[in-house]
Amino acid sequence: MSKNVSRRTLIGTAIAAPAAGQHQGHSTVTPPAAPAKHHLFLAPHEFATLRILCDLILPADETSPAASATGAPEYIDLLCRGNAKIAMIYHGGLAWLDAECTKLHGAPFREASEPQRTAMLEKLAYREQTPPNWRAGAQFFDWVRKMTLDGYYTSPAGYRDVGYQGGKGMTTYQVPEEALRQALTRWMPPDSSPGGKP
């Protein structure tokens, strides 16, 4: 039986050190090929993989939409556009994921079956299952997991999930410039160790 990480577990993971996920009753689905909300910085095949990753991290459930429906992949793409080091992490990490998936399953991650994708992510999410040569991949997945949470929980759907009551006067939603600047600062890798832990 596969281990699907619950929203509540992921919130705890974003605050504390990565922890093992909880079993969840719903299954993950491949996100629809919806157009991006802005001109993409990531290449189309990278963005397609990112959408799948975001929805495997935060799938739709009975009350909440999947991460891709809230703009989480576009949020990450926007941060990549704004910071060369973040962009390098995503270009490299997504390429690594495709290369490893092709070695294991004969297809890039976006073309693999759902059980194949889930098996790979379990090795990345649960450190006791991570092979030594996959540690860089596990570090990349930790970035995607935390940034997906950031994107989701700064969206209207994320506000509803946590019961946030503000922002009722807004007729449209847009990520504030100050929030983007703060996010870029938060996720900027240290200059001295671009390959170090985020």
List, in order, residues 6 or more apart from 71 with CB less than 8 Å away: 37, 151, 155
pLDDT at 103 exceeding the cut of 90: yes
Mean pLDDT of 123-141: 92
CA distance 97 to 162: 32
Start-to-end CA distance of the chain, whole Å, equals: 31
CA distance 168 to 146: 27
What residues does each domain of the chain span?
Answer: 38-58+67-163+174-187
List, in order, residues 6 or more apart from 116 with CB less than 8 Å away: 101, 104, 105
Q: What is the 3-state secondary structure (H, E, C) of 98-152?
A: HHHHHHHHCCCHHHCCHHHHHHHHHHHHCHHHCCHHHHHHHHHHHHHHHHHHHHH
pTM: 0.67
pLDDT at 5 exceeding the cut of 60: no
Query: Judging by beta carbons within 10 Å of its beta carbon (0-12, 13-18, 19+), is residue 93 exposed, middle or buried?
Result: buried
Band (pLDDT 50/70/90 cuts) for residue 177 is confident
Is residue 97 within 8 A of residue 137, CB to CB? The reply is yes
Return the amino acid letter for 71.
Answer: G
pLDDT computed for residue 185 by the predictor: 79
Taking Cα atoms as reference points, which of 80, 61, 75 lies closest to residue 10?
61
Answer with the residue of higher pLDDT: 90 or 191.
90
pLDDT computed for residue 95 by the predictor: 97
pLDDT computed for residue 47 by the predictor: 96
CA distance 89 to 194: 9
pLDDT at 8 exceeding the cut of 50: no
List, in order, residues 6 or more apart from 48 with CB less than 8 Å away: 33, 110
Mean pLDDT of the chain: 78
> What are 54-100's pLDDT values in tens digits?
999 999 988 889 999 999 999 999 999 999 999 999 999 999 999 99
Between 18-27, 142-151, 155-164, the lowest mean confidence (pLDDT) is in 18-27
CA distance 166 to 143: 28
User: How many other CB atoms sit within 10 Å of the CB of residue 161?
Assistant: 19
